[in-house]
Structures are given as structure tokens and as C-alpha cells.
Amino acid sequence: MNDVHPPAAKIGYGGDYNPEQWPREVWDRDYEAFSLAHVDTVTVGVFAWAHLQPAEDRYDFSTLDAIVERATAEGKRIVQATPSGAMPPWLAHAYPEACRVDFEGRRHVYGQRHNACPSSPAFRRLSVAMASRLAERYGDNPAIVAWHVGNEYGGACYCPLCAAAFREWLRKRYGGLERLNAAWNTTFWSHTFTDWAQVEPPTVLSEHWRGPDHTAFQGITLDYRRFTSDALLGGFVAEKAAIREHVPRTPVTTNFMGLYQPVDYHRWAPHLDFASWDNYPPEDPSASRTAARMALAHGLVRGLRGGAPFWVMEQTPSVTASRDVNAVKRPGVLRLWSWQSVAHGADAVLYFQLRQSRGACEKYHGAVLDHAGRTDTRLFREVAELGREFELVGDAVLGARTPARVALLVDWDSWWAVEMSDGPNRNVRYVDVLAAYHRALWQANALVDVVPVTADLGRYDVVVAPLLHVVKGDLADRVAEVVLRGGTFLTTALSGRVDEDDNAFLADVPGPFAGLLGLRVEETDAQRPDVVNPVVLSGTAHEARHVFEVVVPEDAEVLATYGADFYAGTPAVTRVRRGAGSAWYVATLLDDGGVGAVVDGVLAEHGLAGPLADVPDVEVVERVAPNGTRYAFVLNHGAEQVVTCPFDGVDLLTGRELRSGDDVVLPRTAALVVRCR
């Protein structure tokens, strides 16, 4: 992948800015506040379509001209958005088919945003024309450091246009119906398709019997998810191409949403110049779990482009609005999480948004400037102080990379397949299990790359693959290579079950991994969430839940066994030595302690636990700058504590010298950026 990055002299800071929603006198107050807050970057035009093009045959760039001119004059870096994330009313009115048909089969009308049918020719034509005009008009303004196409692509459409496009997509994928019928196993329930026209999008009106995860034919649904991801991508690619006609070099991105199931970001990644995402972590009363969850998402986004730095395109300075309960960020948290973003590879950290909306559904979403426009609030003070720190650090960490030797595999196909599977257990959630394994790595302060199954595994010592339900291509061979050359592979229950078409391997479970792991799974029991089976690992009892595979070991060594039920005494965790390495199997879903014990064992085989691994709530992450300088970020997500300094270096935020072995007091929300020696 050929990365193109926005030019930068420091960590980018600023956010979405919509001055078209305000009178000009407010703009002056905005820029005064931006100076106080050290804002250097503004994203403009994200939802500007209606005023840029008030009618199909009429464009009006006067306001955007003024916005761009002012930002340029103020010396800000501009992220120029195309407005296709929200179409104007006239478009939906003129082209009703540009609105989506939903999973219930209902044609929508104008409303909300992120709602355009990805297969609508009218929408495609108009959105591309808009991107083209913007690029033509502003493309040579050097203040524009990046282009931001659309916004938070997502959702799905099930209209006749999408049905036709899906059939075309299938025709390309399968060539003929015979291959399609085989892939979807259509002899089951008399589903053999004899004409492409017979294929319907999988909805509650066709194959689905409860919701999006309950389908009679996993193959159809899986392909519709892939198709949807590609169809949305088609919009991005077309707009980018239109931009590229006028803007040869400025990098183009779009803002992803982290662990967002509907879109397979791995299918998108090659088409971006650099990755960016919006960091709104799910609510979790545990600060540590929230921190780990953000670290996982940062890792995923960093993994999209081979480890290159990315941008946090959005975060809220204070509250969200769209949730049932929207808590304010506690004092210090904004700074802590922003530095965590940088620690994991962000070269810019931006807000949604700079001035709070007056009306509609985001009027209570936090912003740098509130409705009263005050700069004497706790919120504004924290924003400004963080801006000052980013200035202080300058370009030190820009472009720095994470020297990870652990790979955590993420696979949208497995995510989709395991959650839409009938049997064994609907309570298994892919991200919960993925996050549990990631959290154990995070707790150990191991540096981890979160990568697709197609990634080059050659540079990793440890490959962790929870719930790798679908095994595609040569993955099993590449995993075996890791092991044979001395690496460690760890996988879990429900892995190695189906091929790319979601057809079961006609072999012992876990299919292509069975030989490598030295075992077979004979039965898969499932139990309600309140049923616990104790599993003793290294002398400590852990709780297993949900899925309990009954394992018959071939040559695998048994590390732990079930403590209850008719399979008491049979293996729950195994390891086998193969070549120079080893392969681990966890035949059930363990609690955090259990996962932690397994992961610690795996890391220990390669000495990959990081500094302060035994200190709870303290995250330590490293980045290595292009010039070889090593930066360590120390982040305290818990209460104040004293730790033993693991490096020699200087904290760039305070100038304080740190010496290895010294006691360091880490107050609550402490963040250190240590240039190591």
C-alpha cells in the first residue's frame, strides 16, 4: 500500500467546523477561541450539500468560498469534505429511488442522513459531480491538507436497484449459477436457483426469520453483507476518482467507525490514502475496559494501512447526545484519551465539533464552544491545555510506527458468520471474545497489531485468532509457517468451522487447524449464560461459559480440563509443540482471568509482555519515529499510583527526566510522553 499523508508539523488539532450554520459575526468569535485552544485544523463542508447546490441545476459556492478563504487566511489546515453523507431534500424528492429500502422492505423517504441507496445512478451521478466541482474549485488551495469523502459510511439498502446490483456482483463472484448454488448449498430446502432473477436480497421478507442475524441461508446473507460493503465503497471510489481528476496528490480519506460490523474496512483499506476514524467508545462503567476497547479500535484502524499512522477524525470534547444516557467526560479524561490516540498511532486528534449545533438531534452533543460560546468553562480549559501540549510536542512522534511482534487477527467474514450462525449459541458475540483476548494483551502492555487474515504474518512471533470461524485461502498454511519457524499460534472454540462460503469443512473440527493443533472436537455443547464450567489453569480456577467443545486430543498436551458436566476431565485448553513453535487451543469461552492466563502463557514463550505488565490500569505503548527515536506513552486509566519507571528518558509534556527504576507518581488520568534514551 502506498500511503499518502497530510503534511504536518505537529499533531493535528481541531475538528468539524460548520460556520455556514452561523452568522458571520460568530466566525470572528470562533477564530478567537481557536487561537486560545491551539486549533490548527478545521474540517469543512461535511453537511453542506443543500447550500452548495440548492437545486439540481444550481450551485452556490459563495459561502464555502468565504469559509475556506477565512480558514486559509487564519493559517488553518483545512480538511475539505464532500457532502455526500447527507443529501439535500430536493434530491430525494426528485429521485425517490435514491432513498433506501430497509431490511423490512420499506421504501424510505427524505430524512436523516447516511441514507442514500448505494446503487442509485442519480445519487451516484450527483454526488460525484459535487465532488468533482469541489475538487476543481478548491483543489489547488495548499491549505487543504486532506479530502474527506462522505461521512461514516454504513447501513444497507435492499431496493430493486440493489437487488440488480447484487445479482451482478454475484455473477462476477461466481461466474455461473451452478457455483452459486454450491456456495449457498441450495439443495437444502429446495433453494436451487435456475435464473439470476430469482435471487432476492436477504431480508425479513425473504430469508430472515427474526432479525439481520437470523437467516435461513447464511451464504446469501454473508454475500449480501460483502456486496453492501462493496456497494458503499463504490460511492467512495467514484468520488475519490472525481477528486483525483483535479487534485493529483492531496490525500483522500473517509472517517471510519472502529469496530463497525456492517462495513468490512479491510475491503476498503486499499482505496484510502490514509485511515481515519471517529472515536466514540461504547459505554462501559470500567475505565480500563473502555481504554482497552479504544486501544483495540486504534489498532484495527492502524492495521488497515499496514501500521501507518492514522487520524482520529472525530471525538467529543465532552458528551455525546445520541445515547440513552450521555455522561460528561470526567476531568482529565479528554487529555488522557487524546494522548492514548497518539500513543496508538494517531497523527491528528480532532473534535466533532468546534461549535455546538443550535437545533436538531446534535444540539446537546458536546463541542469546543457551547451555546453560550464561553471560553471560561472546564471543558474549554481542558481543550486549550491539550492544544498547548500538542504544540509543545511538535512533530516529535509524527509518522512513528508501533514495533509490534504480536498479531491479533480480525476477520469480518468470521464476525458475520459466527453471529448469524444457527447454533451453537446466539450469546456468543465476536467482538466480546476478540476484545477479551485483546484486553489480556493490552493488560500485559504487549504491543499488538490488529490485522486482517490476509496480512503478512512473517514479522510476528505470536498470532492470536479468537473465533476464527471462517478459514479462507491459504491462511491455515501461513499460520502453520508461523508455528514451524518458532512462533506461537492461539485460537479458540468455534474456529476452523467453515470455508469462505460458510459451508462446513467435511473433516474433523477445527478443520484446517485440526492437524496443527493436534486434536479434534467431537461435540460442541452450549449452555445459557448462567451456566459456568470451572476450568483450572496453572492452579487457578476460571469460569468457562456459553460454548464447551468436547476435545479429543491427538498429540496435544492438555493444559486445563473442564471441571463439570459429562465432559469433566476432558481438555479445555491444549498446547502442542510443532516445529520450532507451538499451537494453543482454548476449547471454550473463558472469563477475563482465564483468557489472561492463557495469553500470559503465550507471551511468555517469547518474552513479549511489556513494561509495567503487572500494574493494573496503567497502559504503556511505544512508537518508533522514522529517525529511530523511541517514544513511550504511559497512561494511567485508574486511581493515582506509584510505579517503577521502566525507561530512561524525558517526559516531553513536563520536561521531567525519568530514570529507569525510579518511583514515578502517576496521578489519576496521568499521561506521559517519554522520549526514551
Does 500 participate in catalysis according to the annotation?
A: no
Q: Are 587 and 521 in contact (CB under 8 A)?
A: yes
Among candidate residues 74, 104, 136, 152, the one labeled active-site is 152
Smallest distance, a second copy to C-beta of residue 667, A: 14
Among positions 83-112, residues that touch a second copy (CB under 8 A) are 83, 86-90, 92-93, 104-112
Q: Tell me phi and psi for residue 371, to 5 degrees.
A: -60, -30
Smallest distance, a second copy to C-beta of residue 311, A: 22
Quick one: 195 or 663, whose CB is closer to a second copy? 195
Q: Which of 476, 509, 576, 664 binds a second copy (CB under 8 A)?
A: 509
Quick one: 87 or 243, whose CB is closer to a second copy? 87
Among positions 399-458, residues that touch a second copy (CB under 8 A) are 421-427
Please state, in angstroms and as integers, the Cα–Cα distance from residue 221 to each residue in 82, 227, 283, 518, following that order: 31, 10, 29, 33
Is 473 near a second copy (CB under 8 A)? no
Among positions 560-579, residues that touch a second copy (CB under 8 A) are 566
Q: What DSSP line would sit under 109-127, residue for residue?
A: -S-SSS-B-TT-HHHHHHH
Quick one: 359 or 655, whose CB is closer to a second copy? 359
| Cα 368 to Cα 41: distance, rounded to the nearest angstrom | 13
Among positions 125-144, residues that touch a second copy (CB under 8 A) are none
Site string for a second copy, 189-218 (x = CB under 8 A): xxxxxxx-xxxx-x-xxxxxx-----xxxx
Q: Which of 1, 164, 484, 507 binds a second copy (CB under 8 A)?
A: 507
Q: Which of 506, 627, 655, 663 binds a second copy (CB under 8 A)?
A: 506
| Backbone conformation region of residue 115, classed left if phi is above 0, alpha if psi is from -120 to 50, else beta | alpha
Q: Are 386 and 340 in contact (CB under 8 A)?
A: no
Quick one: 323 or 485, whose CB is closer to a second copy? 323
Quick one: 581 or 638, whose CB is closer to a second copy? 638
Smallest distance, a second copy to C-beta of residue 253, A: 20
Among positions 211-250, residues that touch a second copy (CB under 8 A) are 215-219
Quick one: 333 or 537, whose CB is closer to a second copy? 333
Among positions 645-674, residues that touch a second copy (CB under 8 A) are none
Cell numbers that stand for 169 in this block: 456482483
For strands 346-351 and 406-410, give the pairing.
Answer: unpaired
Among positions 306-335, residues that touch a second copy (CB under 8 A) are 318-328, 330-331
Q: Which of 35, 73, 188, 614 binds a second copy (CB under 8 A)?
A: 188
Among positions 349-368, residues that touch a second copy (CB under 8 A) are 356-365
Instruction: Using alpha carbons, select from 52, 228, 199, 75 the residue that is nearest to residue 132.
Output: 52
Among positions 20-79, residues that touch a second copy (CB under 8 A) are 20-21, 47-51, 54-55
For strands 671-676 and 649-651, give the pairing.
Answer: antiparallel
Q: Cα–chain-centroid distance for residue 32?
A: 34
Q: Which of 10, 13, 17, 18 binds a second copy (CB under 8 A)?
A: 18
Total residues in contact with a second copy, by rule CB under 8 A: 113
Q: Which of 35, 187, 644, 654 binds a second copy (CB under 8 A)?
A: 187
Smallest distance, a second copy to C-beta of residue 287, A: 13
Strands (DSSP E) along 174-299, which ranges?
A: 252-253, 255-256, 276-278
Sheet holding 276-278, edge to edge: 252-253, 144-148, 77-81, 41-44, 12-17, 346-351, 310-314, 276-278, 255-256
| Cα 184 to Cα 176: distance, rounded to the nearest angstrom | 13
Among positions 247-276, residues that touch a second copy (CB under 8 A) are none
Is 528 near a second copy (CB under 8 A)? yes
Q: Is the peptide bond before 510 cis (omega within 30 degrees of 0)?
A: yes
Smallest distance, a second copy to C-beta of residue 558, A: 18
Q: Are 224 and 202 in contact (CB under 8 A)?
A: yes
Among candidate residues 25, 207, 283, 314, the one labeled active-site is 314
Smallest distance, a second copy to C-beta of residue 226, A: 16
* Contacts with 38 (C-beta within 8 Å, 6 or more apart), sequence order: 13, 384, 387, 388, 390, 391
Q: What letter represents residue 177's amino acid? A: L
Q: Tell me phi and psi for residue 158, to 5 degrees.
A: -130, 35
In this chain, which stretch among 183-191, 236-244, 433-441, 460-468 interacts with a second copy, using CB under 8 A? 183-191
Does 152 participate in catalysis according to the annotation?
A: yes
Which residues are the active-site residues?
152, 314
